[in-house]
Structures are given as structure tokens and as C-alpha cells.
Amino acid sequence: MGKKKKIENKLSVFTTAILSIYGESPFRPMNYKQICKVLGIKDAAGKDVVYHILIDLFEKGILREERPYRYVLNPAYLEEYGPKKQYVEGTVDMKSTGKAYVILDDQAGEDVFIAPNNTGQALHGDRVRVAMFPKRKDKKPEGEIVEVLQRKHTDFVGVLHISHGYVYVVPDMSTVPVDIFVPKGELHGAKNGQKVVVHLVDWPENSGNPFGEIIRVLGTPGENNVEMESILLAHDYPLEFSQEVEKEAAKISTRILKSEIGNRKDYRPVFTITIDPADAKDFDDAISLQKLPNGHWEVGVHIADVSHYVKPGSAIDEEAYRRGTSVYLVDRTIPMLPEKLCNKVCSLRPDEEKLTFSVVFEMDDDANVLNHWIGKTVIKSCRRYAYEEVQTMIEGGEGDYKEEILTFHHLASKLREKRMAQGSLNFHSEEVKFILDEKGKPIDTYIRVQNESHELIEDFMLLANRTVAETFGKPESKWHNYTFVYRVHDEPNPEKLNNFLRLISRLGYSMDISSRSKLIKSYNKLFDDVEGKGEKNLVETVAIRTMAKAVYSTENIGHYGLSFDYYTHFTSPIRRYPDLMVHRLITRYLLENQDSVNKKEYDDYCVHTSEMEKQAEEMERQSVKYKQAEYLQDKIGQVFEGLISGVSKWGLYVELKDNKCEGLVRYEDMPGDYYFLDEENFRVIGQGSGRVIQLGDEVKVMVKKVDLFKRHMDFELILENNKKKSSKKK
């Protein structure tokens, strides 16, 4: 090799090394001396070579002179010579401010923060690819969305605006922080101010907003039907069944063949009842009772045999899977199954023969389960009860079949005692209900509290669900290694639990977290201690938030809240698709003696149905929030009693006692003082007065403003004259 070639090779190696140094620190100005120090070059000749290479790279435009003889990498060459980017994929959690967090697919690492100017063309719920930025010390991982891999939604509900030649839709959902432009030719009859559904058609590379076309006109904002339909359509939940599904349902016979009855255990002569809300239309569970010759009790839990009518792959089945669950808005139920099935064929109505899937127990007087049987049955309910009727008998009143009802109550109470002794969490749930006028406007509210008649049914349903899961999940079961669907509930999130402990300590309570059993006992004692007190609902609500979300899974980890090692959902196939899946698996394994199903398929089913359950809860929550805002809309200026339910940098959240409406008291609406936030202790302190207002405090507020469409309520705090001095340590 010639001398000239050797020199060129040496220069090439030097150049590569120098560009590598700038690639690692592209924006750090460096001169030839600093580069030589990094490379370990000490001789004059070597330094001279580095100097001239820097000049050459500068003249070629690869380096940029930040200040005399100090160079940085030209941003145009970042892609070629800069740090190699790391890419991750995940789901966008968009905020109303335009910033976002990307939840990684593997959920192994922290969420990635995305600044508003780095969200690209992503929208809430989209699966995206993110280019990660270099990690900064003590900062959350940060990146830029560079590609939308899959859209979560392409249809959006919002209000159409036509102004000064511009046509655009402002989406209802705060998690969609961009307006959608609509070409005038794509209005399809929609008018200014109407609530519409817009389909996203295009989002040009250099446009800050997407473009769409109107595909449905819902009507005038504020009308009850328009708003309820808006909630459903915003979550892609269908308003009606397709003609194909309805035709398939119409062909289902209501007649039960004698040959089918011959294949089942006949429980028609046995005392059987249903207990449901007074306004219920679908009755998917019944209980039966009879005294056995040996003096024991036989209690049957009978569930509508939906799987007999809904076959895999049918149009009804595919639509039920798509929906995943029925949805219960304030003023309506949107069923998972067509009305003929959920309200007629599969509904366990009194004095009608029905096909059921049952778990039948032999119990002694202390509700010890001595035996059980799982299989298909035919029943005939002799009485339909509302919860209120049963509660009246439990409390000493009269009613039909009182002796049998009290036997059910006795056995259920014993089951509950055992469950609580084993460490089950005893949540007391309160639900706000609305009294609506003929137009759907709320004219009053009431709180529906779960009482002993609700618990009676719940305890038998829990026993059936647990027994089915144990039958297929326990190590000694012949189906132990078969794919099955479980309802699982993980342990509390440690960070959320720690925050909860700090909260209750501010309210004067404590918990022992030294072991799982002591933590459960502490939870239940806490619930007993707050019963009847002002902070009851607050404590129970935040306690629920500390818990992990129960989901469906083929991997059994047990149910933490119930303290069950094995648990599933078997008892509501009319309204929950996973229950229908469980019925089919029982039939396949127990009755037909077939091999295990494909686990990967059922993993996907579990993810989908868990997501649909979560979505249904969000729709139900939004309908309640809307009705709460509508209820307070004509009560501007009225004063209500409430509880401080949240403390934030924006202000104090207050939940009204009687109707559970929650609104925000902004700090500027707190008269007479400047309040600073003591976030760690869930309170604010008046700078001048020393007044302390903390989570759980009882307060009076005046309704100041209601934004019906954003479902926001603003309150103004009414402070008494007495002052509460800060107890903050000096």
C-alpha cells in the first residue's frame, strides 16, 4: 500500500472517530484541543490533523461553528451522525391540554411523556411509535410520536360550527384536543350548532388539524336522547342491532322441546324465585330451595342458558362479543343481546319454563357446603321479587313464602360470615339514582344503598362463581391445565396505598399493613368506623381507587378483594360475554369431555372483554356526570352541604351530600384570603387567616356555574366566621 493511501486511511479513521464524538454530544461546542483530549492525541502532528479535519467538516457543512473555532454538529446531520434513536410502541393517553402520555405495550417501563408539540397526528387511544429523547436525570421518560400504527377511533361526536367561512367540528371528548375541519361539500345536511358524528378522512402532513366528513346528524345539543346517544357513539358503541342480527333473533323459537328437557335435570317442581331491582326487565339468575330427606338444604343457583341459543360464529354471537357487555346509562339499558333473547327467551320470568345452567349445593344449617353439582337444568320460577319486598320480610314484615325467604337469608348470612372471616373486603357501595320527567330531565335524586336483600343474592352468586372456578382451576382438577377464563384481582398498588394511608391519617384513622390479613382487617374496620360519618363516601371511594382493576384472564392469580384463590364470572351471560365464554367451556370440558381450547385465542378474548367492561363503566360514569350537571343547571345560586373530595392545584373538589354531584371550587372563589396548597397533607392553608381546609371536611357551597356539555360544575365556597388554625409543624 502506498504512502498516500495510508494517509487517506488514517484521515478516514480520524474523521469517523471525530464524528462519533460529536454524535454522542451533538450540541456541545468543542475545539480541536478538546477533541484531541478525548482521542488521547498528544503529539503536535496528530493535533494538526484533527484541526484540519474540523475545518474540512465545517466547510462541508457537517459541523457548525457555535463560536470561534468551537463546533457543534449541524442539526441537518443528526439523523446520519447523531445519537441512534430508540423507538418504543404503546397507546396514547391524551390530556385536554394537548400533552399526552404513551403507555408502553409491555407495560414494563414508565409511561412516556409527550409534549403538545410532539404528539404529531396521534389522538387518544391510538397505538403509536415513539422516538425516545435522551434520558434526563430525575425526569420522566420523554419522546416524540413519529408514527400512528393503529387508530382507536375514526368517528367522533361533536358540535358543528360554521363561522366566517370555516366549517369544523369541536369534539365532545376533552381527550380530543383538536378541531376537525369539514369541507363544505361534506356536510350532508348538517347545520350550524347541531350535534354530529364526523368521520376522520385525512390528516395532511403539514396540517395542524385533521379533515373529515359528517356521517350522522344527532340533533340539538342538550336534548336528552341526543346527549345519551352521543356518549355511546363517542365510544363506538352501536345504538341498534343490525338487520342480520334481528332476523337471526326472530327465528329463535320460544318453545322448549321435550327432548331437550329430557337431557336436563328437572327443577320445575322445586321452589324457585328471582330477586331483582323493581325496574329490571332481564332476569338472568334464579335461586331454588328444598329440604332434603337427610335434613340438609339443597340450594340451586340457576343461570339463563344463553349458550343453548347463541352459537359461536353466529351473527348474534359476533355482535355480543363486539359489545362485550350491556351498558347501563341513567335513562336506558343498551343490551348485549337482542331484546327477544335478553327480555324474553332467556329471561327467567315467573310461571315460564326456562333452560338454565346450574350449580346446586347441599348445605347444612351453618351453610357448610357438603356437596355440589354443575350441569344443565330446566326450571319454572314461581315468584319474581323486587329487592324491597324481600328486605321488608328480612326486617320482620309479611310477604309471600316468608319462611323460604328467611331460610335463604339465614344461609346467605352464614356464607357471608365465613367469607368475611377468610379476609374478604367488605365494601359498602352507594349509587346515585335520578328521578326523570317524561323528557328525561332529572327532577330529583336519591341514593340506592345495598342492603341485606342485595347481599342475599350476591352471596349465592359469589359461591357459584367460586365453585365453578375451583372445579376447573384447582391442581387436583382433571382440567387444571386446560384453558379457562378467570376473574382476577391483583394486590393494591403500593404507591396508591401509601397515598391512601396518608389521607386517612389526616382524617384520624390508621391501618396495619404488616401483612395481607391485617391489611384486609384494617380495611373492614375502617369501613365500619366511617359508617354514618360525613367522610364515609370519600374514604370508601378512595379505598376502591387504591385497588387494582379486576379483569378477565386465562392466568389465574386469584381475587384479592374477595380473598378467593379461584374466581370466575358464571352468573350473568345475558349481560356479560365472559360468562357466556365460561358456560361454553364448562359444556366443552365437563359435559362433552373435549380437549382444551386454544389459549392464545382466549387471551385475546379476555383482553377485549376487559377493555369493553372498562369502556362501559366510563360511558355509565359520563351519563351520570351529565345528569348531575343537568340537575344543577337550574340551581345556580342555591346553597348545598358537601364534603371536600379532592385537593388540587386548580382548587378544591366538593361532593354534595344529597346528590353526589361533584364540582370545583377555584381558589379565586375562596373569599378573604390567599390559600396555598399543602398537597402532601391533602389540604390548603389560608396565608393570612391560618384557616385549614382539608380532604373530608364538611363545607357549604353555592352553585356558581354549570357547563352542561363539558359536564363541569363550579362552586363557590361559603366560609363560616370561625377560623381553624393550621396544625402544620414549625
Q: What is the pLDDT of residues 642-691, one digit of tens each?
A: 988 888 888 999 999 888 899 999 988 887 788 888 877 778 998 888 88
pLDDT confidence of residue 10? 53
pLDDT averaged over the chain?
Answer: 89
For the beta carbon of residue 107, count every other beta carbon within 10 angstroms.
9
Alpha-carbon span 680 to 686, nearest angstrom: 16
Residues 164 and 200 in one domain: yes
Number of H helices, E strands in the chain: 18, 33
pLDDT confidence of residue 541? 75
Residues 44 and 23 in one domain: yes
535 within domain boundaries = yes
> Any idea which of 133-137, 141-145, 314-318 has the lowest mean pLDDT?
133-137
pLDDT confidence of residue 619? 95
Q: Which residues pair with 644 in a beta bridge?
A: 654
Q: The CATH number of the domain where 185 resides is what? A: 2.40.50.700
pLDDT confidence of residue 721? 56
What is the percentage of the chain residues whose pLDDT exceeds 70?
Answer: 96
Output 503 or 579, whichever has higher pLDDT: 579
Residue 107: pLDDT band with limits 50, 70, 90 = low
Q: What is the pLDDT of residues 7-32, one digit of tens each?
A: 455 567 788 888 888 887 777 889 99
440 within domain boundaries = no
pLDDT confidence of residue 728? 38
Residues 405 and 267 in one domain: yes
> Any idea which of 375-379, 484-488, 505-509, 548-552 has the lowest mean pLDDT?
505-509
Q: Residue 725: is its pLDDT beyond 50?
A: no
Where is the domain boundary, 21, 50, 81?
81
Output 195 or 721, whichever has higher pLDDT: 195
Longest CA pairwise span in the chain (Å): 113
pLDDT confidence of residue 494? 84
pLDDT confidence of residue 727? 39
Q: Residue 291: is its pLDDT beyond 80?
A: yes
Q: Residue 589: is its pLDDT beyond 50?
A: yes
Residues 545 and 619 in one domain: yes
Strand segments (E) across 278-429: 285-291, 297-304, 327-328, 333-334, 353-363, 369-380, 383-386
Q: What is the pLDDT of residues 604-633, one digit of tens each?
A: 999 999 999 999 999 999 999 999 999 999
Q: The CATH number of the domain where 145 resides is what? A: 2.40.50.140
What is the percentage of the chain residues whose pLDDT exceeds 90?
Answer: 59
Residues 345 and 361 in one domain: yes
Q: What is the pLDDT of residues 324-343, one digit of tens each?
A: 999 999 999 999 999 999 99
**Can you read off the three cell numbers belonging to residue 134?**
435522551
Residues 301 and 405 in one domain: yes
pLDDT confidence of residue 629? 93
Q: The CATH number of the domain where 21 resides is what? A: 1.10.10.10
Q: What angle do CA 63, 66, 72 make, to 5 degrees?
A: 35
**Can you read off the three cell numbers belonging to residue 194?**
347541531
Residue among 172, 121, 177 nearest 151 (CA) = 121
Residues 294 and 368 in one domain: yes
Q: What is the pLDDT of residues 380-424, one digit of tens each?
A: 999 999 999 999 999 999 999 999 999 999 999 999 999 998 888
Q: What is the mean pLDDT of residues 462-477?
A: 97
Output 688 or 589, whichever has higher pLDDT: 589
Contact 90, 109 (CB under 8 A): no
Alpha-carbon span 714 to 55, nearest angstrom: 64
Q: Counting every residue, how long is the chain?
A: 730
Residue 496, Cβ density class (10 Å: 0-12 exposed, 13-18 middle, ≥19 buried): middle
Q: Residue 75: is its pLDDT beyond 80?
A: no
Which H or E run includes 215? Answer: strand 211-219
Q: What is the mean pLDDT of residues 311-326?
A: 97
Residue among 291, 295, 320, 292 nearest 306 (CA) = 320
For the beta carbon of residue 427, count every other beta carbon within 10 angstroms.
14
Where is the domain boundary, 600, 624, 648?
624
Where is the domain boundary, 102, 124, 150?
150
Q: What is the pTM of this model?
A: 0.83
pLDDT confidence of residue 9? 54
445 within domain boundaries = no
593 within domain boundaries = yes
Contact 635, 716 (CB under 8 A): no
Q: What is the mean pLDDT of residues 365-373?
A: 97
> Which one-letter amino acid corresponds to residue 331?
D
Q: Residue 85: is its pLDDT beyond 80?
A: no
729 within domain boundaries = no
Q: Residue 532: is its pLDDT beyond 80?
A: no
Alpha-carbon span 603 to 208, nearest angstrom: 38
Q: What is the pLDDT of residues 696-724, one digit of tens each?
A: 888 999 999 999 888 899 999 987 754 44
Q: What angle do CA 259, 263, 265 make, to 5 degrees?
A: 125
Contact 631, 659 (CB under 8 A): yes
**Can you read off the three cell numbers belonging to residue 678?**
399543602
Backbone phi and psi for residue 142, each to the nearest 5 degrees, phi listed first: -135, 150
pLDDT confidence of residue 8? 52
Contact 431, 448 (CB under 8 A): yes
226 within domain boundaries = no
pLDDT confidence of residue 280? 83
Domain residues for the domain of 368 are 243-431
Q: What is the mean pLDDT of residues 115-127?
A: 92
pLDDT confidence of residue 638? 95
Q: What is the pLDDT of residues 149-159, one digit of tens each?
A: 999 999 999 99
Q: Residue 144: is its pLDDT beyond 70?
A: yes
Q: What is the pLDDT of residues 476-519, one digit of tens each?
A: 999 999 999 999 999 888 888 888 888 888 778 888 888 877 88
444 within domain boundaries = no
Residues 108 and 46 in one domain: no
Q: Residue 162: is its pLDDT beyond 80?
A: yes
Q: How would DSSP label each residue in 710-723? A: TTEEEEEEE--S--
Residues 499 and 378 in one domain: no
Residues 268 and 406 in one domain: yes
Alpha-carbon span 400 to 390, nearest angstrom: 9
Residues 517 and 595 in one domain: yes
Which three-class secondary structure state does DSSP give residue 704?
Answer: strand
**Can you read off the three cell numbers belonging to residue 282?**
332481564
> Any idea which of 83-92, 161-170, 307-316 has the lowest mean pLDDT?
83-92
Residues 589 and 607 in one domain: yes
pLDDT confidence of residue 729? 36
Domain count, the chain: 6
438 within domain boundaries = no
